[in-house]
Structure 1
Amino acid sequence: MTVFGAAVLLAGLLLAAPPATANDDAYTREIRAEGEKTERLDRAREEIRRSEEQERARENKDNKTAGPAPAGKTQEDFEKLLRKDSPASYRFYADFTPERRSGIFKLYLKEKRMSVVKRKIVDTYLGI
């Protein structure tokens, strides 16, 4: 075997060998970490988009179905409606004093939209 043949054989073995692992592993880890961050952001954006769509659908439903409060509507009827249509808002509402509940009911009679009432309930509960 000549020197040239040995050099070709050695070069072939070096090219066939796996690349250095220390630098490539760190680089690969960084690339994977960046990809995972991007995937998490994409999932979060998708969840936000779905949540906003659901909220818009609820708002549209409230705007179509709530309508004006029927004449003679009582606070008890309002509370039943709130409990049925929005149990989470009702839980906050149930913690209010009778005076605050009365104020929320008056807002319902005035605004005639559950979306406005639910927003007021949350704002009141949070002290906003």
Structure 2
Amino acid sequence: MKTFTISTKKKDQIIDITNTVEQFLRDEEKEDGLCLLFVAHTTCSLTTADLDPGTDLDLLDALRNLLPHLSYRHPHDPHHTPDHILSTIIGPSLVIPYSDRQLMLGTWQSVILVELDGPRQRTIHLNTF
């Protein structure tokens, strides 16, 4: 298993980690398999997305508008409860097939970290099968 850290700089931010993941795959013994990614935090998540200019901001705006304004009961900081909820909806992990040590993504797909409570240091674990 490999572990790497991503530094985020904003409260809400999309970071393309595709190249970082593929750099790890270049060192793998197996040329083909599955790449498992897991982010070890509860206020960020992993997914794939099209990152044409502005689509990162569109995604963040859409996510923020999904949840109603409620009186949240989170015991230590109700203010960031929406961050936890959105992170749960998107999810902390991805499994992506790879071939010839490259992710088998669609033409417009990128692997992204969705930061919902930054700026922070985020830890991602990567394993291949």
After TM superposition, the score normalised by the length of structure 2 is 0.24
More helix by share: 1
Higher relative contact order (CA 8 A, sep 6+): 2
